[in-house]
Amino acid sequence: MLRFVWKAVDLNGILRRGVWEEEGITEVQTRLRKEGYFPVWVRAKRTWKSIRFPLGATFQWTFFARRLAILLEAGIPLLQALEIITFHGKKLTMEQELWKSVKQRVESGSDLSEALSVINPSPNSFVLAMIKAGEYSGTLAKVLSEVADELEQEQELHKKIKAALAYPLLLSCGVVIVLYVLSVWVLPMYEKLFLNIGSTDLPMVTKVIFASGQKLPVLLWCMLGLVAIFMLVLRFSNPDDWKFRLERLLERLPIIGKVYRLRDLVQFSRMLGRLIAAGIPLLEALRLTAGTLRGPMMQELTNQLVLSVRQGKRMAPLLRASHLFPKEGAEMIAVAEETGQLERILNHVNQLFRQELEDQLTHLLRMIEPTLILALAGLIGLVASGVMIPIFDLSSHLE
């Protein structure tokens, strides 16, 4: 019996999670359907090997899909292509051992999608669904190439978001470090100097700066401790949902929250369009898309769409009523549902959201960067003026 982590949608469109012990992933999916759930993804529970070797990263699956697609397009059979990927001498790396286990499962009669779903860690539901669609339609090589393109676009998008958020975070850390250095080493030195020369009548600004400098290190350490305790409690009290809860907190932030919401809109339109283009029915494509989304708000909206489509309704009215989905995107999808061109229109919606996301990232950098620089410069200037005013007064008395 193995432990499997699963995510599924119930009859009311609510996303559920759990951990079950079964003999294999097929048994978990069968059990979920018997209990009235629609599986989004099922994965083997992580082990020490998956922590040491996180193959679930986007780069690893992009590399695998791209190499396998090239070999299949060259006319090489699937088993021989897997053999080429794993053949690198006597000593195999952990990655090659994983591909070898996939090859062995395919040799025993399993489909490629089924063999990939059992390994730990397995790819996300989008990759598995696309590969399964490629197997059923006989276009596995083309689908794998599309999967690699999609994962590369997703990786590029994540890099842009991280780069946009990394610089403000770095400047914020710089502000904290400067404050700590000033309060621990610089300000006590000047305060001791003024006490030694008998200068007791200090300006109010200088007194406030010295008093703040004495309390600031304790305050900074307390804040750091609270953040660390919060992250540890969040991590260990909710081992399966802590990232979900953290995403919910980030989505509520004023500026960064909009970036995260736009990221989910881009991923929703891109994934749904790709799955529909691969021949997957709309209802199943929505369920699989819900499993790839990170933001809780967008996941909730997608689950509502699943329930609405299952009842035979269109998506456009629900998207129009949502405060999360932009109105212009909802109107484009309404036209797509009327004309039967959902796949093509979703690509245009994706381009629209992607452009808005890039504009938001540029605006974020232009707004936060000068603000933090001015704050740092003003802070240093305030401390310098508070220290230099008594020195100027002292020099004038000496003259």
Crossing angle between the packed helical segments 256-277 and 282-292, to the nearest 10 degrees:
140
- Segment 127-152 shows an average pLDDT of 85
Residue 330 is predicted with a pLDDT of 93
CATH 1.20.81.30 fits 2-145, yes or no: yes
Closest by alpha carbon to 146, among 35, 45, 69?
A: 69
Residue 203 is predicted with a pLDDT of 76
Q: One fold for both 2-145 and 146-399?
A: yes
- C-alpha of 18 from chain center: 21
**pLDDT at residue 292 is higher than 50:** yes
Model-level pTM? 0.67
| Better-predicted residue by pLDDT, 318 or 18 | 318
- Residue 238's pLDDT band (boundaries 50, 70, 90)? low
What pLDDT, in 10s, does the model give residues 294-324? 777 888 888 889 888 988 899 999 999 988 8
Residue 51 is predicted with a pLDDT of 38
- Segment 105-133 shows an average pLDDT of 80
- Segment 33-41 shows an average pLDDT of 77
Residue 66 is predicted with a pLDDT of 87
Domain residue ranges in the chain: 2-145, 146-399
- Segment 210-222 shows an average pLDDT of 84
Question: Which class does domain 146-399 fall in?
Answer: mainly alpha
Q: What is the DSSP string of 122-157?
A: PP-HHHHHHHHHHHHHT-HHHHHHHHHHHHHHHHHH
- Residue 329's pLDDT band (boundaries 50, 70, 90)? very high
